[in-house]
Amino acid sequence: MKPPFRIAVLECAQPLPSVQEKYGTYGDIFRVLLQSGADTLGMPEVVSSKKGLEVSKWDVVYKQEYPSLEDVDAVLMSGSQFTAFHDDPWILKLVDYTKKILAQRRVRVIGVCFGHQIIARAMGAKVGQNADGWEIAVTPMDLTAKGKELFKVDRLNIHQMHRDIAFEHPEGVEALGSSPVCSVQGMYAKGRLISVQGHPEFNQEIETIIIKARHAQGIFTDALFEDAMGRVGKHHDGAEVSAAFLRFLLED
């Protein structure tokens, strides 16, 4: 695949109001992430924050709008506060759309958190709530050999915000990494898909807003909140993950 990359961000949720006021919707947030990844890639003659990226955004929850596959080169599915294994009509529609992408060989799919789980579900893997509980804030991810090759680091630090997980790797994908709380932290199939359970698009401010909101709602205990706030400001490798996404698109 050659630039310009026409990447459709499927917005599977809307950010909290204070996040949206400053950063826009998730399509806007991912555009910034992809631009950062393009510069991190270090191939300015091919793709950079200034050229080679055409990012569109699609509200698949409330408007249920989708791009035609003929008009895009890749689809990126965002995270969400919703549950990937539920059977709400819009979720079933998203799963069917994902199956349609995976059934062909030109358009590639990228999944993040909820999007990662939707890919797993579309490929027949079990997705559900993790009995080990929440994984939040910046967390180290142990990488497989393939994960190290794609992300260009020996260990990945990434923002997390999830309790649901994929319990298994679908047939035909390679594992990218794991953590003590979640064994399926990333998936890859050359020319078809790449996904991560974490949130490369989050920064310290976005993650902090979500942590504080969920603590105020009683979703996070005091102990969980304090632990997360102690890690939320640590270094994270969002740009490296984004560069891996683009490296994946550049593969033959």
Catalytic residues: 113, 199, 201
Which burial class, exposed, middle or buried, applies to 166 when counting CB atoms under 10 A from its CB (0-12, 13-18, 19+)? buried
Q: Left (φ > 0), alpha (ψ -120 to 50) or beta: where does 24 sit?
A: left
CB of 90 closer than 8 Å to CB of 64: yes
Q: What is the DSSP string of 158-180?
A: EEEEESEEE-SPPTT-EEEEE-S
Beta strand extents in the chain (DSSP E only):
5-11, 53-59, 74-77, 108-112, 127-129, 135-143, 155-162, 164-166, 174-178, 186-189, 193-196
Beta bridge partners of 140: 157
* Interatomic CA distance for residues 242 and 32, integer angstroms: 10
* Residues in Cβ contact with 42 at an 8 Å cutoff, skipping those fewer than 6 apart: none
Give me 26's structure tokens: 């998730």
Length of the chain, please?
Answer: 252
* Residues in Cβ contact with 205 at an 8 Å cutoff, skipping those fewer than 6 apart: 22
User: Torsions phi, psi of 106, nearest 5?
Assistant: -100, -55
